Structure 1
């Protein structure tokens, strides 16, 4: 199916772009969340990714395989750009006078707090990885690409993907293991470190 969609998208078929979106939007969205750490910003990454796909459609090889690695590579670049823009925005806001904080009553729900803290710990640990390691981890463990697909998405050799993923997993494991030596950080940590 991807070969037909590739040719149709290259020819400017908007319906083919819609089909591509239907097929891969969830995958791009999940990957985008791990890239930017915010569900709302992840929606922006998805939108911008498919706009970029449309803009770059003439560069698309009509005879390639799955479009998923290419889409996730585009999403990775969009996420990087969005993170940079958010940092600049936060830096600008930090220079402004601060208002009194308004309490967030949703934080009173204990279960949500624990889940949010766990997820934030994982996201923060991932955020402290070097960018090449983080990109490989998010593509392989987060988005489920195999080594070859991640190598294609990032334009690097498979061996580079393997070594970066190994280092990223070790660093993440060290960052998320409590002083007791037992890792009980929940399913979010296990799911991001166990794939493939």
Structure 2
């Protein structure tokens, strides 16, 4: 391929002096080749774009210290692209390893949470309506023993009655709730 205009060596000498236009010309001349090389190294067009950008950023940063051994900058740019691809691969490997060490938990879908809350509210409304129909003494026993998990001896002390009376109130409340709700409450529902 016949090259018109300044050689890469001439452009690189101007780039080393800080000539941004000369660097733009080198970019225009070689970015496609660097991009294709990067794609062949990583197999991803978007990662190839990142590697191409990193390659030319490294070239700009090293403009004052790198001397081209040939009349073309392309071989050096391809080596830099290879180094950038390896750096990208190592970073991705470390990220995958880090993610592999994280617990497999994921954030629940907020819609599931909202739907669950609505179902819970609906169910609780039905249960509360039934509990409100119980005598006050039985409501207190249900609230302490079934809902809050207070033991029978502690509930008896809190209510100022015997443990047998608390057990009796809970038993009567379960029987009435079963009738009112149309089903026997399981341990999980208590």
| TM-score normalised according to structure 1 size | 0.47
RCO (CA 8 Å, sep 6+): is it higher in 1 or 2? 1
| TM-score normalised according to structure 2 size | 0.49
